[in-house]
Amino acid sequence: MTAQKKLFIKTYGCQMNVYDSERMAEALGGQGYVETQTPDDADMILLNTCHIREKAAEKIYSELGRFKGLKAEKPDLKIGVAGCVAQAEGEEIIRRQPMVDLVVGPQSYHRLPAMEQAVAKGGKALDTDFPKDDKFDTLRSRPKAKRGPTAFLTVQEGCDKFCAFCVVPYTRGAEVSRPAERIIREAQELVEAGVREITLLGQNVNAYHGHDGGLAGLIWALDKVDGLERIRFTTSHPNDMDDALIEAHGTCDKLMPYLHLPVQSGSDRMLKAMNRKHTREQYFRLIEKIRAARPDLLLSGDFIVGFPGETEEDFEDTMDLVRTVTYGQAYSFKYSTRPGTPAAEKPQLPEEVMTDRLHRLQALLGEQQRAVQDSMIGRDVKVLFEKKGREAGQMIGKSEYLHAVFAETSDVAVGDIRTVRIVKSERNSLGGELR
């Protein structure tokens, strides 16, 4: 029997990395590893990295530096870097931080057991290939251990869009979709383990083509899984939002009325410079169709301010788009360069200009988010309760609109879906009473 060892994984970035970390832990489970919540007692530390944010690589090197003392105390401690920074930096990570034992890209983590064995024999392990073998097919089935009521499930990876600001096509590779039957089987395993809501993940999830009916076809297939009560998906690209998927939002009861649909800019000039391949008018028409299908849908988006060449007029076009569309949630960022991307070679805007524009945009988005939350007061929503609150007798969950909702109750268990009347709106959550 393999001796039990402890694995600490620190996850950075998006929900796909959360999913990947779960699968890496499962892959190493066969080597006798169980997860721990602290690096201090770990036999292996894995940093699952994201390359989207500014200075991502430097932040990882800084994080690795914090483990030097621990490595000195425990020479047998294995340290690994996974994910998109690993893919981008490769051998440079081991060169700059020789204490790192293994580096694995996001498409190769199914090979972790073999890499761990190589390290155990005193070597270093590096794998940043885009292998032909399917990592999901190679990994063993999900364990049947009890899980929380929500879970992520990756259905699509990679990107063929090549937006001028983005490294994803270089770190995650071309768009690849998992076969529908494997996704459905994994969803069934998750439901058997206690999951009631699944969020389908992909860099461009609505570009999914592993089912004859695309993402809409997959959603309808998952709709038939007994015990699965809620379906969500993220992140979408406007160019892949087809009529079947829009119709599903209006007709599939299990598909929640929440959509994350990044536009990035409201300026046609900037959209062209970003290589987004759609216009603001096309985005407006798309939103009209989606809201006609599901009038109560809560819309979320992404915005970049200060993209190279952005003028005040371009920025005002973005502000106008936000005022026209209205977002219940949104994520906004200052542009930051990514080496190897087309925009990185262009003259950058002054930092103070970008900061000013970001603050103005976030103020508008914040007003819209608060208004949407306030409009929920007096409405009944269905809440999937996920955990106990800080206060005695309080439970916290998510509404169908992805709002965090808390309620005072002693009559609810984790995993229950109950009707709640919203009675108050706070900064990032809603308060309610059971109906």
What residue spans define the domains of the chain? 5-127, 135-374, 380-434
CA distance 395 to 414: 8
Q: Return the CATH number of the domain spanning residue range 380-434.
A: 2.40.50.140
8 A C-beta contact, residue 142 and residue 189: yes
How much is the pLDDT for 52? 67
**Identical fold between 5-127 and 380-434:** no
How much is the pLDDT for 1? 47
Binding site per annotation, positions for [4Fe-4S] cluster? 14, 50, 84, 159, 163, 166
**What Rg, from alpha-carbon coordinates, does the chain have?**
22
Pick the CATH number of 5-127 from 1.10.3210.10, 3.40.640.10, 3.40.50.20, 3.40.50.12160: 3.40.50.12160
Binding site per annotation, positions? 14, 50, 84, 159, 163, 166
Dihedrals phi, psi of 333, to nearest 5 degrees: -145, 155
Neighbours of 276 (CB within 10 A): 24
How much is the pLDDT for 398? 98
How much is the pLDDT for 399? 98
Pick the CATH number of 135-374 from 3.80.30.20, 3.40.50.1820, 3.40.50.2000, 3.20.20.100: 3.80.30.20
The pTM score is 0.83
Count Cβ neighbours within 10 Å for each residue of 230-260 and write b for 16 or more, e otherwise.
bbbbbbbbbbbbeeebbebbeebebbbbbbb
Write the single-letter amino acid at 252.
C
How much is the pLDDT for 255? 98
Structure tokens at 219: 């959603």
How much is the pLDDT for 329? 97
435 residues of the chain, pLDDT tens digit each: 456 899 999 998 778 888 889 889 988 988 889 999 999 999 999 999 887 665 777 888 888 999 989 999 999 999 999 988 888 888 889 999 999 999 998 888 888 989 999 998 888 999 887 665 566 666 655 555 678 999 999 999 889 999 999 888 888 888 999 999 999 999 999 999 999 999 999 999 999 999 999 999 999 999 999 999 999 999 999 999 999 999 999 999 999 999 999 999 999 999 999 999 999 999 999 999 999 999 999 999 999 999 999 999 999 999 999 999 999 999 999 998 887 889 988 999 999 999 999 999 999 999 999 999 999 999 999 999 999 887 888 999 999 999 999 998 878 999 999 999 999 999 899 999 999
CA distance 302 to 240: 16
